[in-house]
Chain A
């Protein structure tokens, strides 16, 4: 118990530190002194000191929304990963298992193909098609026995279908404008985040995270298996639907604003499980914090690494995959991968 509290406290401190670093770092460097002065003046009600007009503009209209969205998306993806891993009783499951990301990619590609590359159209279409994809997968899985296996298989089917549809759109797309736009979208980036999107998406994610936080302990009996959960008094199909519904909403909101960002939903819950254990009581909040940290650090790296900004989705996989290999090797005997 105490061990978890300390881990949680340290993670919260790290997140705060990461936020400050991320606000300060970038092509336009804001030193900590200036940062403190700006924040202090805002706290006093002076809305952006005129003397510091440029740094406060960079801070408030460019970096802050991006930092907020990165943290929220990181938290959303890793919490969703933790929920799905518990729900499907498999530590190798990621939030995309039910086809949410392939649906979103299709939606984005569709919008780029037909409606031009406007952020609003791409975001809404990605969000909508992500929901449609999971809805279809859920319906197929439900009719196919409503078991974990049938749901996973249905997810595989839907993912294959939408991935093929994306390929078709790519093939038909204009290779000079539309094709690169589709490709860049699927790589994932926080590059184009603006305040209105940040508020809309972050509030939806925050709402979903609060719901999952409230329901987090019930993932423990769900993770034991359908029959155990049933005899312990849980209406398994209904509980599963609720978790899938909330998770799908927040993952769809995440990918709709920043495209496909892989590995976060797989690696971070794993790492969290090694640190605080499998009890979802601690695992869910810790996954949220560490997902926020991981994503923010990756996005800051994506911004400040020499050679111009690179899509953060590349970085999360480039750094996440070896990190996962490291976890796999060093924790071989921790019991998480047994059975």
Chain B
């Protein structure tokens, strides 16, 4: 099992470690023997084709799904033994897309991030609202506070949900394809923000992404899933390779280095056979 980055001196215990995790519906196993760990200050990209188990893995990590086998530990705590309140103090989730039936304002959405830390039977105080405003301000979207969440653009919605997750004040941040409904520009805008907060707040960020190029640009390490199994995991440069990508996505690709020093993957012209 590898731990990233491989700096021996700084390593105490990984912020998040997944050991031999399996999950299935009935007899059909969706995830099998997944093992990896992530340290704080690191963005870990979760990659794989559709139905490879990315979303399921994230749900197993945050305990929404109970794994069939194996364990998830956060800073030494076994997630399956914790109550929902305690899990929410350790991990925050940015969902893929939230459709809200009722008209909550952005500020009211962000304040809900405080739920796990409120004393039972209490409501958020004025102080909580002020801090929620500060959380919006921290992402540069203070002007959205009074707007209705439903009426925001896709990029703004994701930023508000990110602000809510950060307001939850956890060390671990899980994001499930946060860019999938965003246009070209907003994808980079959101990823920039995620990268900034990960470094600034020293978070362990796990993000599932469709686009391997976004992952190559922003992630420090990668976990490649294929049909519910861990195909390869490790530092970005070790995983982001032609043969790995070809095996995982099933198309012929070429990895090219750009003049900025980053790598991009492009499919070969013919995509019918490898």
Contact = CB atoms under 8 A, between A and B. Distances in A.
Interface in A86-112: 86, 89-91
B158 interface: no
Interface residues of A, number: 33
Given A223-B101, A232-B88, A335 B151 contact: yes
Q: Is the interface of B mostly helix, strand, loop or mixed?
A: mixed
B84 A334 contact: no
A230 B88 CA distance: 8
A90 B92 CA distance: 26
A224 B98 CA distance: 8
B121 A214 contact: yes
B98 A228 contact: yes
Given A216-B123, A335-B150, A228 B101 contact: no
Given A86-B102, A214-B121, A277-B103, A230 B95 contact: no
A90 B102 CA distance: 8
Contacts of A218: 115
Contacts of B85: 233-235
Contact of B99 (A234, A336, A339): A339
Interface string A192-218: 000000000000000000000011111
B103 A335 contact: yes
A334 B150 CA distance: 11
Contact of A278 (B92, B104, B112, B123): B104
Contact of A235 (B83, B93, B100, B108): B83
B270 to A, nearest CB: 41
B62 A231 contact: yes
A281 interface: yes
Contact of A233 (B98, B99, B116): B116
A90 B89 contact: no
A174 interface: no
Closest 8 CB pairs of A and B: A233-B88, A233-B116, A278-B102, A217-B123, A231-B93, A233-B85, A232-B115, A89-B101
Nearest to B100: A224
Contact of A335 (B84, B89, B148): B148
B84 A221 contact: no
A44 interface: no
A91 B102 contact: yes
Contacts of B64: 227, 230-231
